[in-house]
Homo-oligomer: A and B are copies of this chain.
Amino acid sequence: MLYFIGLGLGDAKDITVKGLEIVKQCSRVYLEAYTSILTVGKDALEDYYGRELILADRDMVEQEADEILKGADVSDVAFLVVGDPFGATTHSDLVLRAVNAGIQYRVIHNASIMNAVGCCGLQLYNFGETVSIVFWTDTWRPESFYDKIKKNRDLGMHTLCLLDIKVKEQSMENLMRGRKIYEPPRFMTVSQAAEQLLEIVQNRRERGDDLAISEETICVGLARVGAEDQVILAGTLRQLASCDLGGPLHSMIVTGHLHPLEVDMLQIGCPGRNPCIKYSYQDG
């Protein structure tokens, strides 16, 4: 059996009791290490589980999937994923490979940012399509996520923005020379995401577009959701561009139509909310 086990969002103890029991009994345990991270690292997880974990980076999952699946028809193998196992496309790929190899699989679900984001007080029912915001480079500055946010806002829906993670990234030079030397991991902050969005707003204004978002649109910054030191800040897009929410992971919400109960929740805030950025009623 191949078990896909969600680890939740905070630390080692956010695994479910069922998930922990399975981890302890499997013959091999892989830790997916490229779509997200916990606030604790591999060592802390190994200490807590009392067993060795094999780090599975993107190359391994995509190119050496057979290695992961080896023997899973006769023994138990676990594949651990931060959050819930069905956030990222690549795990569907691993499921399909398992099924095609005649290997049974089972999913042990857990919280992911896709549902835990509800803790900020915005109703999950009122979210439209989720978007990803990627790090811009000098030559690649995609704006497509803006159009999706616009569509959601036109329907009154909130938009969860998942922010870019760069793990095992090669510099252009190292890539060209085929050197497997990797840059330090990078995690987009709420401030960086807000700045990119502000630039698009400015671009669209100069073009004379009908603006779906302005500097005064109420957004919510979230950092380390589910961890002891989570921070949630509501403010205008402009305010969020100059906030510092600390270490990764960050996410951002662009609000749509706000229900009075949602406004109340954004104002009183979740635990750890920094009261220095005030919620403003002047949202357009």
| B-binding residues in A (CB < 8 A) | 6, 8-18, 20-21, 84-87, 89, 92-93, 95-96, 99-100, 104-107, 109-112, 114-116, 118-119, 121, 123-132, 151, 155, 157, 225-226, 261-262, 264-265, 268, 270-271
Docked complex Cα distance between A126 and B105 (Å): 24
Cβ-defined contact, B14 with A14, below 8 A: no
Cβ-defined contact, B119 with A109, below 8 A: yes
Cβ-defined contact, A128 with B129, below 8 A: yes
The residue that A111 contacts in the complex, of B84, B126, B262, with Cβ under 8 A, is B84
Cβ-defined contact, A15 with B13, below 8 A: no
Would you give the shortest CB distance from A105 to chain B, in whole angstroms? 7
Docked complex Cα distance between A249 and B22 (Å): 25
Cβ-defined contact, B109 with A121, below 8 A: no
Docked complex Cα distance between A15 and B18 (Å): 8
Would you give the shortest CB distance from A158 to chain B, in whole angstroms? 10
Would you give the shortest CB distance from A156 to chain B, in whole angstroms? 9
Which of A13, A121, A225 has the most chain B CB within a 10 Å cutoff?
A13
Supply 25 A–B pairs (Cβ within 8 Å), ascending by A.
A6-B111, A8-B109, A8-B110, A12-B17, A13-B17, A13-B21, A14-B17, A14-B18, A17-B20, A86-B124, A87-B118, A92-B262, A95-B265, A96-B268, A106-B271, A107-B116, A107-B119, A107-B271, A109-B111, A111-B112, A114-B114, A124-B130, A125-B129, A128-B129, A151-B155
Cβ-defined contact, B115 with A129, below 8 A: no
> CB-CB < 8 A to A128: which residues of B?
128-129, 157
Cβ-defined contact, A129 with B127, below 8 A: yes
Report the nearest B residue to A86, measured CB to CB. Answer: B118
Report the nearest B residue to A230, measured CB to CB. Answer: B107
The residue that A264 contacts in the complex, of B20, B96, B119, with Cβ under 8 A, is B96
Report the nearest B residue to A99, measured CB to CB. Answer: B268
Q: Which 5 A-B pairs have the closest CB atoms?
A: A86-B118, A109-B111, A13-B18, A115-B115, A13-B17
Docked complex Cα distance between A20 and B264 (Å): 30
The residue that A115 contacts in the complex, of B96, B114, B125, B261, with Cβ under 8 A, is B114
